[in-house]
Amino acid sequence: MLKLHALLPYLRHLSPMLRWGIGTLAFLFCLLLFLPAMLSPFDRLIIILLMLPVAYVAWFLPLRPASFCISVIVMLFFLVLFLLGRGLLFFPLMVFGAVIFFVETCAIRGTHLALQLAVQASQKTKQAELQMTQASERLQNLNDLKDQFLLNISHELRTPLTEVRGYIDLLQENHAHLDIETRVEFLEHAAHGCNELELLVDIALEATHLESGRATFELASIPLGKCALAMLDRINLQGHEVHIDIPDTMAVWANWQHVERILGNILSNALKYSPAATTVTISATLISENGVFPHVCVRVQDAGPGVQAADMPNLFQKAVRLKRDMTGSVRGTGLGLYISKQLVEVMGGRIWVESTGIPGQGSCFCFTLPAVK
């Protein structure tokens, strides 16, 4: 029955005129069969023939139109019997036919309603199962993301902790045998490890703060070149040369600290992955973003191994690191680009990466911010 019900709704999508036409043709067809049946002794065949349009109307039309059509069919049935002069003789047949039509209508409407309820229940069950499956997948993704985040953070925390613990142990064990300069050097190394720990904690807290949507900041006209130079003063260039190609008059409508953090995150990645003594270029041009108002497009080009096309969609996701980096010596939390993406988008821009994936050709990380006219 359910398979039949799956085919029949096709007729319900026909236009009202076509449905009325099919019902009329069914009635006329049965009427043509009905006339010769009047000449035969099998009078109850009349009722059987007229059950077809009654069944069609009861199944495919709403309750009120169906009741009206069935009433018309019954009246035409009575009228034809009277016109043929057999109405009084066949009064029991007329009553019997009316009862049959009524019972048929009730049975078909009830079956139709039951099938509709069954199909709706089946659809709701499938929808609920789909929602549960999707919720389970989202939960699994969140668990995987949490595990990856903890793995990255624990790996990153281990290095500065080892540095701090190592130099403190050396001071404790050899305090009496070390001169002042050596003690100062050990303390500086331990302080450097503490600074790295503080930075990692700040990064994790910043990612959580941005994700919660509670971050508040003020926008202002920011001279992009000066902001890039200020960021450069706090970055360890690791033997690289950084070339800044930004017009002095170019300004963006943004937050100074956020722009500095974005540039710092992207430049740190470029320095980590580029070969020593190579050049990293930071440039900016004025573009029209979506044809609305001018934006500034900032581009950071390096000479590193590049990014494969398959890795690009996940590059700005939270706690995501490329497979090549998981077993390598390059450290990272997988949060830098994620934080940069959140900051860029909250200031009305977008961020992406351009790369051929060919080692030596590097990557070009780009982001846009509203320009100040």
CA–CA dist 240, 108 (Å, integer): 83
- Kindly write down the DSSP assignment for every residue of 237-277, as one continuous string: -TT-EEEEE--TT-EEEE-HHHHHHHHHHHHHHHHHHSPTT
The model's pLDDT over 131-147, given as tens digits with 9 standing for 90+, comes to 888 888 887 776 766 66
- pLDDT tens-digit map of 274-285: 888 889 999 999
pLDDT of residue 368: 94
**C-beta separation of 362 from 304 below 8 A:** yes
Between the CA of residue 141 and those of 54, 132, 149, 216, 325, what are the distances in Å? 55, 14, 12, 28, 21
Q: How far is Cα 262 from Cα 255, in angstroms, rounded to an integer?
A: 11
Q: What's CA 116's distance to the chain center, in Å?
A: 32
Looking at mean pLDDT, say which of 6-20, 66-80, 298-312 comes out highest.
298-312
Give the lowest-confidence range in 34-48, 81-95, 288-302.
34-48
Domains annotated for the chain, with CATH where assigned, are 2-132 (no CATH), 145-212 (1.10.287.130), 220-370 (3.30.565.10)
Are the C-beta atoms of 369 and 349 separated by less than 8 Å?
yes
- What pLDDT, in 10s, does the model give residues 36-75? 544 444 455 556 666 677 777 777 777 777 777 777 777 7
Looking at residue 283, its pLDDT comes to: 94
Distances (CA, A) of 255 to 221, 223, 284, 286, 346: 8, 11, 17, 18, 10
Q: Directed axis angle between helix 16-38 and helix 44-60, to 10°?
A: 170
Lowest mean pLDDT among 26-35, 116-125, 337-346: 26-35
